[in-house]
Structure formats: structure tokens, C-alpha cells
């Protein structure tokens, strides 16, 4: 019985932790320097980006070109006036000739009314040219704003694409921090395996010991009964 109990006390459940230990060895020898350097550069870039977006090429605000608006407005107005001035001069000359042929003298009421009516029409055409020039300038301003937005969006998209590419390249390259987290997780798993095995070994040992004690107690009881019967 003592040998059996001694054997039980020495019982130790063997646990195969070679896979975890091999993985630990791999993780501890894994070179994360490239990923660490790249992540450090990206972290520095993120800091600069947060400090000043414009320094990193991102477009956070755009504005239209007032210079483009003014150029278009001036050019459109000048184009209209280049056509209107000769027309107005010819219209006035034609009117004066017609009034003279009608026998109306310069300064007469009819003469002055006719001249005033023509000048009003010509002023209206100049005002219309001015209005169209302003509209053309506003269109140029809006177009310059749309161009600036499109250029900003293109720049930001290209910048984000570069960041996405860097992140994609780093997916399979753990940093030192990530590697240490992996090592910790594996070590915890191995330790849990070992703790569970020890607990199971103790459970088995106490189960066998309990059985042995019960058997010893029963045997002792039978022996005492035998002695009693013999004495009787």
C-alpha cells in the first residue's frame, strides 16, 4: 500500500507545450526593426499632420481666385465695348444725318429728343454688357473654386492612398509592441496549460489517495470483524 501511495504522490501529468515554446522562440527572435522604424516615421508624420495639415500636403481649405474673376470680367467687358463703341458712333452719325435731312436743327426739341432716345438705348446696351461681364466674372470665380476643390480632393485622395498602402504593407509586419503582446499571450497560454495539468494531477492524486484510504479502512474493518469472530 505504501508503494502504491508513494507512486501516486509522485504522479505528474506530462503536458506537451512544445508548440507554444517553439512559437515563443520564433516570436522572441523575430526582427521587427523595419516595421518599428516605419511605424515611428508614420507616427512622426501623424504628429506633424495634426500640427499643420498644410505642411503634409493635405488640403484643409480652398479658395477661389478673385484674380481670375477680375480678368474674365475685364476681358468680357472689353470685348463688348470693342463692338459697341463703333456701333454707337455709327448710330449717332446716321441719326444726325437723318435729322438734318428732315430739316431738324441741332438744339431743337425734336432733334434733342431723338438724340436722347438713342443715347438711352446705347446706355442700356452698355449696362447690359456690364451685367454680362459681371456674370462672366462670377462664373470664372466659381470655376476656379471648383478647380481648387477638385485639385484638393485629388491631393487628399493621393495622400490617403499612400497611407493605406503603408498600412497594407505593415499588416504582416508586427511591431515590437505587437510582438511583445503576442509573446505575452503565448506565455499565458503555456502557463495556463501547465496550471491545468498540475491541477489535474492533484485531482488524480487525491482521487487515488481517497480510494486507497477507503480500501484501507474497509480492510481494517474486515480484519477487526475477523478478530471478533475468532475470539467468540
User: Alpha helix (H) ranges present in the chain?
Assistant: 2-9, 18-29, 33-51, 66-101, 109-170, 176-231
Asked if pLDDT for residue 184 goes beyond 50, the answer is yes
Q: Per-residue b/e over 187-205, b at no fewer than 16 CB within 10 Å?
A: eeebeeeeeebeeeeeeeb
Q: How confident is the model at residue 14 (pLDDT cuts 50, 70, 90)?
A: low
pTM: 0.49
Asked if pLDDT for residue 189 goes beyond 80, the answer is no
pLDDT at 132: 95
Say how far apart CA 140 and CA 77 lie, in whole Å: 14
Rounded to the nearest integer, the mean pLDDT of the chain is 78
pLDDT at 219: 60
pLDDT at 7: 47
Q: For residue 105, what is the DSSP state?
A: P
Question: If you average pLDDT over residues 66-72, what whole number do you get?
Answer: 90
Q: How confident is the model at residue 172 (pLDDT cuts 50, 70, 90)?
A: low
Asked if pLDDT for residue 125 goes beyond 60, the answer is yes
pLDDT at 65: 84
Amino acid at each position: 500500500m505504501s508503494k502504491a501511495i508513494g507512486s501516486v504522490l509522485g504522479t505528474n501529468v506530462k503536458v506537451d507545450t512544445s508548440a507554444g515554446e517553439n512559437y515563443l522562440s520564433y516570436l522572441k527572435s523575430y526582427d521587427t526593426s523595419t516595421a518599428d522604424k516605419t511605424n515611428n516615421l508614420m507616427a512622426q508624420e501623424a504628429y506633424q499632420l495634426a500640427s499643420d495639415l498644410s505642411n503634409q500636403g493635405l488640403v484643409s481649405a480652398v479658395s477661389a481666385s478673385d484674380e481670375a474673376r477680375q480678368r474674365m470680367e475685364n476681358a468680357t467687358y472689353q470685348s463688348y465695348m470693342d463692338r459697341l463703341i463703333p456701333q454707337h458712333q455709327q448710330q449717332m452719325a446716321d441719326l444726325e444725318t437723318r435729322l438734318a435731312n428732315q430739316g431738324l436743327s441741332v438744339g431743337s426739341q425734336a432733334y434733342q429728343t431723338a438724340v436722347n432716345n438713342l443715347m438711352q438705348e446705347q446706355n442700356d446696351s452698355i449696362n447690359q454688357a456690364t451685367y454680362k461681364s459681371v456674370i462672366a466674372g462670377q462664373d470664372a470665380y466659381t470655376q476656379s473654386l471648383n478647380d481648387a476643390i477638385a485639385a484638393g480632393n485629388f491631393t487628399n485622395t493621393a495622400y490617403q492612398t499612400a497611407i493605406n498602402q503603408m498600412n497594407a504593407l505593415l499588416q504582416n509586419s508586427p511591431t515590437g509592441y505587437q510582438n511583445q503582446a503576442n509573446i505575452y499571450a503565448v506565455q499565458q497560454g503555456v502557463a495556463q496549460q501547465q496550471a491545468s495539468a498540475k491541477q489535474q494531477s492533484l485531482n488524480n492524486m487525491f482521487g487515488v489517495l481517497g480510494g486507497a484510504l477507503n480500501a484501507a479502512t474497509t480492510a481494517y474493518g474486515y480484519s477487526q470483524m475477523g478478530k471478533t469472530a475468532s475470539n467468540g
